[in-house]
Amino acid sequence: MPQWEYSKIDLNNAPARSSEIALLDDAGRNGWELVRITANNLAYLKRALDDVAPAAPPRAKQPVRRKTAASRASEE
């Protein structure tokens, strides 16, 4: 199951030289996915965490090999 991190951009405070779309495009280039823009112009974004390793499946135990009487006798 993916792990997510979240961010918020206040589009009301966008610099005068850039547009809201440019801010969202920049976020998208950095891996952010737009989740929602609220009525008060806040953009909520999410992206998958790369550094979270998936849980490794448990390793099966190897059977214990025991020497039989015949194999012990052949070693002598």
- Look at 66 and 34; give whichever has higher pLDDT: 34
Query: pLDDT class for 55, splitting at 50, 70, 90?
Result: low
- Residue spans per domain, the chain: 1-51
CA atoms within 13 A on the CB side of 52: 9
Burial 55-72 (b: 16+ CB within 10 A, else e): eeeeeeeeeeeeeeeeee
pLDDT given for residue 15 in this prediction:
77
Q: Does 26 have pLDDT greater than 70?
A: yes
| Across 17-29, average pLDDT | 87
| Across 30-58, average pLDDT | 83
3-class state of residue 52 by DSSP: coil
